[in-house]
Amino acid sequence: MVFSIALRFVRDRSVAEELAQDVFLKLYRELPRLESPEHVKFWLRRVTSHRALDYIRGAHRRAELALDDVPEPTVAGKHNDPLMERSLRKLVSSLPDQARAVIVLRYQEDMEPQEIAEVLGIPAATVKSRLRRSLALLRGKVQRLVGEPIR
Amino acid sequence: MKPNEIDEQLKRALRRCEPPEGFADRVLARVEREASRTTSRSVWTVWRWPFLRWAPIAALIVIAVTGISYQVHERQQEAEARAAKQQVMLALRITGSKLRVAKQKVKSVEAGKVENKL
Protein backbone atom coordinates (compact mmCIF):
# COMPACT_ATOMS: atom_id res chain seq x y z
CA MET A 1 0.00 0.00 0.00
CA VAL A 2 2.63 2.51 1.09
CA PHE A 3 5.07 1.80 -1.73
CA SER A 4 2.26 1.67 -4.27
CA ILE A 5 0.80 5.04 -3.24
CA ALA A 6 4.25 6.61 -3.24
CA LEU A 7 5.09 5.12 -6.63
CA ARG A 8 1.90 6.38 -8.30
CA PHE A 9 2.37 9.82 -6.78
CA VAL A 10 6.08 10.32 -7.53
CA ARG A 11 6.35 7.98 -10.57
CA ASP A 12 9.90 6.94 -9.70
CA ARG A 13 10.64 3.55 -8.14
CA SER A 14 13.79 4.52 -6.22
CA VAL A 15 12.20 7.71 -4.87
CA ALA A 16 9.05 5.75 -4.00
CA GLU A 17 11.10 3.19 -2.08
CA GLU A 18 12.98 5.91 -0.22
CA LEU A 19 9.71 7.61 0.68
CA ALA A 20 8.11 4.32 1.74
CA GLN A 21 11.11 3.52 3.96
CA ASP A 22 10.85 6.98 5.54
CA VAL A 23 7.15 6.40 6.19
CA PHE A 24 7.77 3.04 7.88
CA LEU A 25 10.58 4.54 9.95
CA LYS A 26 8.21 7.28 11.05
CA LEU A 27 5.59 4.62 11.78
CA TYR A 28 8.10 2.87 14.05
CA ARG A 29 8.54 6.11 16.01
CA GLU A 30 4.83 6.92 16.13
CA LEU A 31 3.51 3.40 16.74
CA PRO A 32 2.89 3.84 20.50
CA ARG A 33 0.52 6.73 19.71
CA LEU A 34 -1.54 4.79 17.16
CA GLU A 35 -4.57 3.14 18.69
CA SER A 36 -5.81 0.47 16.25
CA PRO A 37 -5.02 -1.23 12.93
CA GLU A 38 -7.52 1.12 11.26
CA HIS A 39 -5.71 4.09 12.76
CA VAL A 40 -2.40 2.71 11.46
CA LYS A 41 -3.88 2.27 7.97
CA PHE A 42 -5.28 5.80 7.96
CA TRP A 43 -2.01 7.16 9.33
CA LEU A 44 0.05 5.32 6.65
CA ARG A 45 -2.14 6.61 3.83
CA ARG A 46 -2.08 10.16 5.16
CA VAL A 47 1.66 10.33 5.83
CA THR A 48 2.55 8.64 2.54
CA SER A 49 0.29 10.99 0.57
CA HIS A 50 1.66 14.10 2.26
CA ARG A 51 5.28 12.98 1.96
CA ALA A 52 4.84 12.15 -1.71
CA LEU A 53 3.05 15.42 -2.48
CA ASP A 54 5.76 17.33 -0.58
CA TYR A 55 8.40 15.54 -2.64
CA ILE A 56 6.60 16.37 -5.89
CA ARG A 57 6.25 20.02 -4.89
CA GLY A 58 9.97 20.14 -4.07
CA ALA A 59 11.14 18.31 -7.14
CA HIS A 60 9.60 20.68 -9.71
CA ARG A 61 9.90 18.16 -12.45
CA ARG A 62 7.01 17.65 -14.78
CA ALA A 63 8.73 15.84 -17.59
CA GLU A 64 6.64 13.88 -20.04
CA LEU A 65 6.80 10.23 -19.04
CA ALA A 66 7.88 7.40 -21.24
CA LEU A 67 5.49 4.48 -21.25
CA ASP A 68 8.03 2.29 -19.41
CA ASP A 69 8.12 4.70 -16.45
CA VAL A 70 4.48 4.08 -15.60
CA PRO A 71 4.28 1.58 -12.72
CA GLU A 72 2.87 -1.80 -13.63
CA PRO A 73 0.81 -3.79 -11.14
CA THR A 74 2.44 -7.06 -10.16
CA VAL A 75 -0.80 -9.07 -10.10
CA ALA A 76 -2.84 -9.46 -13.26
CA GLY A 77 -6.54 -8.66 -12.95
CA LYS A 78 -9.53 -10.52 -14.30
CA HIS A 79 -10.99 -9.56 -17.67
CA ASN A 80 -8.17 -7.12 -18.18
CA ASP A 81 -7.27 -5.33 -21.31
CA PRO A 82 -3.53 -4.84 -20.88
CA LEU A 83 -3.28 -2.14 -23.51
CA MET A 84 -6.21 -0.17 -22.09
CA GLU A 85 -4.90 -0.53 -18.54
CA ARG A 86 -1.46 0.61 -19.57
CA SER A 87 -2.92 3.58 -21.40
CA LEU A 88 -5.05 4.46 -18.39
CA ARG A 89 -2.04 4.30 -16.08
CA LYS A 90 -0.17 6.62 -18.38
CA LEU A 91 -3.13 8.98 -18.54
CA VAL A 92 -3.42 8.98 -14.73
CA SER A 93 0.31 9.68 -14.48
CA SER A 94 -0.11 12.70 -16.70
CA LEU A 95 -2.80 14.24 -14.45
CA PRO A 96 -1.89 17.25 -12.24
CA ASP A 97 -0.44 16.19 -8.85
CA GLN A 98 -3.50 16.89 -6.69
CA ALA A 99 -5.90 15.30 -9.17
CA ARG A 100 -3.64 12.25 -9.49
CA ALA A 101 -3.53 11.94 -5.70
CA VAL A 102 -7.31 11.90 -5.51
CA ILE A 103 -7.64 9.36 -8.35
CA VAL A 104 -4.99 7.05 -6.86
CA LEU A 105 -6.58 7.10 -3.43
CA ARG A 106 -10.06 6.58 -4.94
CA TYR A 107 -9.24 3.75 -7.33
CA GLN A 108 -6.10 2.11 -5.98
CA GLU A 109 -7.01 2.36 -2.29
CA ASP A 110 -10.79 2.17 -2.91
CA MET A 111 -11.39 5.09 -0.56
CA GLU A 112 -14.56 7.16 -0.31
CA PRO A 113 -14.34 10.93 -1.04
CA GLN A 114 -14.81 11.70 2.66
CA GLU A 115 -11.88 9.43 3.59
CA ILE A 116 -9.72 10.99 0.87
CA ALA A 117 -10.61 14.42 2.21
CA GLU A 118 -9.47 13.38 5.71
CA VAL A 119 -6.25 11.86 4.43
CA LEU A 120 -5.30 14.83 2.26
CA GLY A 121 -6.64 17.43 4.67
CA ILE A 122 -8.89 19.10 2.12
CA PRO A 123 -12.69 19.57 2.00
CA ALA A 124 -14.78 16.64 0.74
CA ALA A 125 -16.36 18.97 -1.84
CA THR A 126 -12.92 19.67 -3.29
CA VAL A 127 -12.22 15.93 -3.51
CA LYS A 128 -15.51 15.35 -5.31
CA SER A 129 -14.93 18.17 -7.78
CA ARG A 130 -11.38 16.97 -8.48
CA LEU A 131 -12.70 13.45 -9.03
CA ARG A 132 -15.36 14.74 -11.44
CA ARG A 133 -12.90 16.87 -13.37
CA SER A 134 -10.26 14.13 -13.50
CA LEU A 135 -12.75 11.50 -14.63
CA ALA A 136 -14.10 13.82 -17.32
CA LEU A 137 -10.55 14.46 -18.47
CA LEU A 138 -9.72 10.76 -18.49
CA ARG A 139 -12.95 9.88 -20.31
CA GLY A 140 -12.15 12.42 -22.99
CA LYS A 141 -8.61 11.12 -23.42
CA VAL A 142 -9.73 7.48 -23.47
CA GLN A 143 -12.42 8.36 -25.98
CA ARG A 144 -9.83 9.92 -28.26
CA LEU A 145 -7.63 6.88 -27.71
CA VAL A 146 -10.16 4.17 -28.50
CA GLY A 147 -12.39 6.17 -30.76
CA GLU A 148 -15.67 5.55 -28.94
CA PRO A 149 -17.47 7.31 -26.06
CA ILE A 150 -16.82 6.02 -22.52
CA ARG A 151 -18.83 6.72 -19.38
CA MET B 1 -18.92 0.93 -23.28
CA LYS B 2 -21.11 0.17 -20.25
CA PRO B 3 -21.88 2.81 -17.59
CA ASN B 4 -19.12 3.28 -15.00
CA GLU B 5 -16.80 1.16 -17.09
CA ILE B 6 -14.05 3.68 -16.62
CA ASP B 7 -14.37 3.18 -12.83
CA GLU B 8 -13.78 -0.54 -13.21
CA GLN B 9 -10.97 -0.02 -15.69
CA LEU B 10 -9.30 2.49 -13.38
CA LYS B 11 -9.56 0.05 -10.46
CA ARG B 12 -7.96 -2.65 -12.57
CA ALA B 13 -5.30 -0.35 -13.98
CA LEU B 14 -4.40 1.07 -10.59
CA ARG B 15 -4.02 -2.19 -8.71
CA ARG B 16 -1.43 -1.98 -5.99
CA CYS B 17 2.19 -2.51 -6.99
CA GLU B 18 4.38 -4.76 -4.89
CA PRO B 19 7.52 -3.11 -3.48
CA PRO B 20 10.88 -4.18 -4.90
CA GLU B 21 12.52 -7.34 -3.61
CA GLY B 22 14.26 -6.88 -0.27
CA PHE B 23 12.22 -3.81 0.59
CA ALA B 24 11.02 -5.23 3.93
CA ASP B 25 14.61 -6.19 4.87
CA ARG B 26 15.85 -2.71 4.06
CA VAL B 27 13.07 -1.13 6.14
CA LEU B 28 13.86 -3.44 9.07
CA ALA B 29 17.57 -2.60 8.80
CA ARG B 30 16.75 1.11 8.97
CA VAL B 31 14.43 0.53 11.93
CA GLU B 32 17.19 -1.42 13.73
CA ARG B 33 19.71 1.35 13.05
CA GLU B 34 17.19 3.88 14.33
CA ALA B 35 16.49 1.75 17.41
CA SER B 36 20.19 1.42 18.32
CA ARG B 37 20.75 5.13 17.72
CA THR B 38 17.74 5.95 19.88
CA THR B 39 19.08 3.74 22.70
CA SER B 40 22.49 5.40 22.72
CA ARG B 41 20.85 8.80 22.40
CA SER B 42 18.48 8.02 25.26
CA VAL B 43 21.48 7.36 27.53
CA TRP B 44 22.77 10.83 26.74
CA THR B 45 19.26 12.21 27.12
CA VAL B 46 19.02 10.67 30.59
CA TRP B 47 22.44 12.13 31.40
CA ARG B 48 21.07 15.54 30.41
CA TRP B 49 18.33 15.35 33.03
CA PRO B 50 19.23 18.02 35.63
CA PHE B 51 18.69 15.63 38.51
CA LEU B 52 20.98 12.94 37.12
CA ARG B 53 23.57 15.44 35.95
CA TRP B 54 23.92 16.89 39.45
CA ALA B 55 23.48 13.59 41.30
CA PRO B 56 27.21 12.66 41.40
CA ILE B 57 28.14 16.15 42.55
CA ALA B 58 25.45 16.04 45.22
CA ALA B 59 26.70 12.62 46.33
CA LEU B 60 30.27 13.95 46.59
CA ILE B 61 29.08 16.90 48.68
CA VAL B 62 27.12 14.58 50.99
CA ILE B 63 30.15 12.29 51.40
CA ALA B 64 32.48 15.26 52.10
CA VAL B 65 30.09 16.83 54.62
CA THR B 66 29.59 13.47 56.36
CA GLY B 67 33.36 12.89 56.53
CA ILE B 68 34.08 16.34 57.94
CA SER B 69 31.27 15.98 60.50
CA TYR B 70 32.69 12.63 61.58
CA GLN B 71 36.18 14.10 61.96
CA VAL B 72 34.86 17.04 64.00
CA HIS B 73 32.91 14.62 66.19
CA GLU B 74 36.02 12.45 66.69
CA ARG B 75 38.12 15.49 67.68
CA GLN B 76 35.46 16.64 70.12
CA GLN B 77 35.43 13.19 71.73
CA GLU B 78 39.25 13.18 71.95
CA ALA B 79 39.23 16.61 73.58
CA GLU B 80 36.57 15.51 76.06
CA ALA B 81 38.56 12.37 76.84
CA ARG B 82 41.73 14.42 77.42
CA ALA B 83 39.84 16.80 79.72
CA ALA B 84 38.35 13.87 81.65
CA LYS B 85 41.81 12.31 82.00
CA GLN B 86 43.24 15.55 83.31
CA GLN B 87 40.40 15.84 85.85
CA VAL B 88 41.02 12.27 87.01
CA MET B 89 44.76 12.96 87.40
CA LEU B 90 44.02 16.13 89.31
CA ALA B 91 41.59 14.27 91.55
CA LEU B 92 44.17 11.57 92.15
CA ARG B 93 46.86 14.16 92.99
CA ILE B 94 44.49 15.92 95.40
CA THR B 95 43.50 12.62 96.94
CA GLY B 96 47.18 11.62 97.33
CA SER B 97 48.15 14.83 99.09
CA LYS B 98 45.15 14.64 101.45
CA LEU B 99 46.04 11.05 102.27
CA ARG B 100 49.58 12.14 103.13
CA VAL B 101 48.26 14.85 105.48
CA ALA B 102 45.90 12.39 107.15
CA LYS B 103 48.70 9.88 107.56
CA GLN B 104 50.93 12.49 109.19
CA LYS B 105 48.12 13.45 111.55
CA VAL B 106 47.55 9.82 112.50
CA LYS B 107 51.30 9.43 113.14
CA SER B 108 51.45 12.54 115.29
CA VAL B 109 48.40 11.44 117.30
CA GLU B 110 49.93 8.02 117.90
CA ALA B 111 53.24 9.62 118.96
CA GLY B 112 51.38 11.83 121.51
CA LYS B 113 49.64 8.82 123.04
CA VAL B 114 52.95 7.00 123.55
CA GLU B 115 54.52 10.01 125.30
CA ASN B 116 51.50 10.27 127.64
CA LYS B 117 51.83 6.63 128.60
CA LEU B 118 55.47 7.08 129.44
Where chain A has pLDDT below 50, the residues are 62, 64, 66-68
E strand segments, chain B? none
- For residue B77, CA distances in Å to A67, B71, B72 come to 98, 10, 9
Domain ranges of chain B: 23-117
CB–CB contact A151 B4 (8 Å):
yes
- Characterize A90-118 residue by residue with b for buried, 16 or more Cβ atoms within 10 angstroms of its Cβ, and e for exposed: bbbbbbeebbbbbbbbbbbbebebebbbb
Measured between beta carbons, the chain A residues lying within 8 angstroms of B31 are 24-25, 28
Residue B95's pLDDT is 84
ipTM entry: 0.71
Query: Which residues from chain B sit within 8 angstroms of residue A1, using beta carbons?
Result: 16
CA A139 to chain centre: 18
pLDDT of residue A75: 52
Nearest Cα to A73, choosing from B84, B19, B94?
B19
Separation between Cα atoms, residue A103 and residue A101, nearest integer Å: 6
**Model pLDDT, residue B2:** 54
Give residue A67's pLDDT: 42
Which parts of chain B register pLDDT below 70?
1-3, 38-53, 118
The answer to whether B13 touches A92, Cβ cutoff 8 Å, is: yes
Within 83-112 of A, beta carbons closer than 8 Å to B belong to: 84-86, 88-89, 92, 103-104, 106-108, 110
CA distances from B22 to A17, A76, B12, B45 (A): 11, 22, 26, 34
Q: Is B6 on the interface with A (CB under 8 A)?
A: yes
**Contacting residues of B for A27, CB less than 8 Å apart:** none
Task: Tell me what pLDDT residue A66 has.
Answer: 45
What integer pLDDT is reported at residue A35 of this predicted model? 80
Q: Does B22 touch chain A (CB under 8 A)?
A: no
* Distance of alpha carbon B100 from alpha carbon A86, whole angstroms: 133
pLDDT score recorded for residue A54: 87
Chains A–B, number of C-beta pairs less than 8 Å apart? 98
